Structure 1
Amino acid sequence: MKISIGYRDDNQPPGLRAEEVPLQFREPYVEVGYRKPYQPLTFYLKSFFQIHNESLNVWTHAIACIAIVFQGIRLCSMIDMERDPYAPMFRMFLISSVTYLFLSACAHLFQSINEIGHHVCFFIDYMGVSIYCFAAGMAQVHFCSLPWVYNLLQGFYVPLHWLLSFLVCFCCSYSKYRYKRPYPFARKVWQMSSVAAGYIVAILPIFTRLLFQGFSIFHDIAMFYHVIQVACFLIGSFFFAAPFPQKFSPGNFDIVGHGHQLFHIFMALVSYTEAEAVYRDYIDRRNVYSSLFTPTPSLVYGYFVLLVVANFTVVIVLGHKVKARLDREKEE
């Protein structure tokens, strides 16, 4: 299919300028490349093949989603998925990776449809991040922990991690609902503190292995991948938190190179390397973790179902609150 650049004339960049779209749809220091809001759904579907300031946000996670699907097929083909009792937990981890990347790509593709759609798209995006955070922590604490770390954490880790993963969705969604553009720093605090808390608990098994077995990265391929995924997460978090490099040169990174695009690229690398790392531990450390726990349906599926229900509740409730607020503003 032909890719449309979408120029309005030979002297203008693709899409609309920031002042031509409502404040809700603008990004700081991004001056051009906006799509028209309030268009039919098909308009935004077609924009997948066009150049605008959301193109790379959509494409990076769409491509990563496809890559993780093929990676999952490759990894699962080397596992007895029917008879291995530990396989469902690994499969849920892979599914959550694909899910959050898919939801993120969709959120950026459709977020300009209207104000309500804009909010709901990102509420669903945050739900995907929440599910992925929980799945990553579950896989890492069960497959990747040192035995003494697992024994220390097993009494409280899963419910604590469930709560923190839920707060990722709730805090990011609530701050999106509560604050309007231009967003105050408080919104970033809501987002970063909830994600940081969830990530710290999720990565705790890996951190302790790096702390006590750091030199094993030279001969343990799983540890090598773990180091890469932690590094990519930290770099990606920097670009999520700080509007760089576009702050230093507004207008020059609108289509390619602004911070959120770089954040997406590094998070895609996190997903890929984390899947490789967990798989290596899943295969190579069977004698370790099989002596520590036996999967049960409630452990593998129960907490996930509860998390999805809780996150959907947040999306529905806050979506209605956004609609009610917009209705009040129209009446005023």
Structure 2
Amino acid sequence: HRAASYSYWKSVNSIFEIHNETANIWSHLLGATWFLLMFIEFFYSGLAYHISLGDGVALGLYYLCVMVCFLLSTSFHTFCDHSSDVHKLSNELDHLGIVLLMWGTGMSGTHFAFYCHPTIRSAYFALLTITAFGCGLFTLQPKFRQPDYKTTRYLMYVLLDASLFAPVLHGLLSFGVSSLEEMMGLGSFLHLAVINSFGAALYVWRIPERWYPGMFDLIGHGHNWMHVLALVGALVRLQGLLQVADAWQRGGHMHGFCNAL
């Protein structure tokens, strides 16, 4: 563990040292860099020049939300040793990044799921944005991190999760599994949910360090695995979104527009 640095410069320099936050810092710093490079590659790829503006915005939003989330996570694990006040602020921003990523994931998926139903899509956009905004406000209010507001925080995140899955469930009931897979990449979305849930379980239940005290203090503890799995899940979902965007342009009845409109 690092001692309190009371210096941003010392905290930044500590990313090159070995301590219990090293893996957390580098996993998401490299992850953010990786997504930036992939976004640049996408921007200059053939797909970027053939998809519609709306599709490009949806994909760009996902890239951006992943990068910001990982950078805020990196910032927290870099500066959490600075002081108590900086620890609290960076932790709030870290959680805000998670909210932002959930919002971006929901918005991009909903864009494709209801491609031919703009009114329904707009309604879900509004629902996702309102719930994410509410969660963001709660996250940035120090008093809401106190034990007295534990139930309120829990309900806010439940509401955000519900708004994330609501359009997916709606799509399943309206279009069926196979059509929704083609339309919004259902499989990659569900894989993302499973991967992140597994990572969160490792973190909450402190696996594997609870079974081998002291062995995973520096690397390999549940928080590390949650970071790695968050990156894996984000990559899986990205591939699904890219395939869906390509399908809307090239696949059979999908040409980037809806014949019914």
From 87, 97, 103, the equivalent of 1:134 is 103
From 56, 64, 83, the equivalent of 2:31 is 64
Q: What does 1:38-53 align with in structure 2 at a 5 Å threshold?
A: 38-53=5-20
| 1:72 to partner: Cα distance | 1.9
User: Residue 127 of structure 2 corresponds to which residue in structure 1?
Assistant: 160
Moved more, 90-99 or 163-172: 163-172
From 184, 202, 205, the equivalent of 2:164 is 202
Q: Is the 8 A contact 1:161 1:198 kept in 2?
A: yes
Unaligned stretches of 5+ in structure 2? none
From 74, 78, 94, the equivalent of 2:46 is 78
Report the TM-score, using the length of structure 2 for normalisation: 0.80
Q: What does 1:275-290 align with in structure 2 at a 5 Å threshold?
A: 275-286=238-249, 287=254, 290=257
The amino acid across from 2:47 in the alignment is I
Q: Is the 8 A contact 1:172 1:190 kept in 2?
A: no
User: Residue 177 of structure 2 corresponds to which residue in structure 1?
Assistant: 213
Aligned length: 253
Distance 1:259 1:293, change over 3 A: farther
SS class of match (2:61): helix
Q: Is the 8 A contact 1:119 1:177 kept in 2?
A: no
Identical amino acids, percent of aligned pairs: 17
SS class of match (2:81): coil
| 1:254 to partner: Cα distance | 1.4
Calculate the aligned-residue CA RMSD, in Å.
Answer: 3.4
Report the TM-score, using the length of structure 1 for normalisation: 0.65
Instruction: Describe the superposition over 1:111-158 as per-residue Cα deviations: whole angstroms up to 9, x where unpaired.
Output: 1101110111112212222222222111110113485xx568436312
User: Residue 200 of structure 2 corresponds to which residue in structure 1?
Assistant: 237
User: Residue 95 of structure 1 corresponds to which residue in structure 2?
Assistant: 64
Higher percent of residues as helix: 2
Distance 1:257 1:145, change over 3 A: farther
Instruction: Describe the superposition over 1:36-70 as per-residue Cα deviations: whole angstroms up to 9, x where unpaired.
Output: 10332111111111111111111111111122122
Unaligned stretches of 5+ in structure 1? 1-33, 295-332
Q: Is the 8 A contact 1:100 1:131 kept in 2?
A: yes
The amino acid across from 1:199 in the alignment is D
Q: C-alpha distance in 2, partners of 1:119/1:143?
A: 37
Q: C-alpha distance in 1, partners of 2:13/2:105?
A: 33
| Deviation beyond 6 Å, 4+ runs, structure 1 | none
SS class of match (1:68): helix
User: Residue 108 of structure 1 corresponds to which residue in structure 2?
Assistant: 77
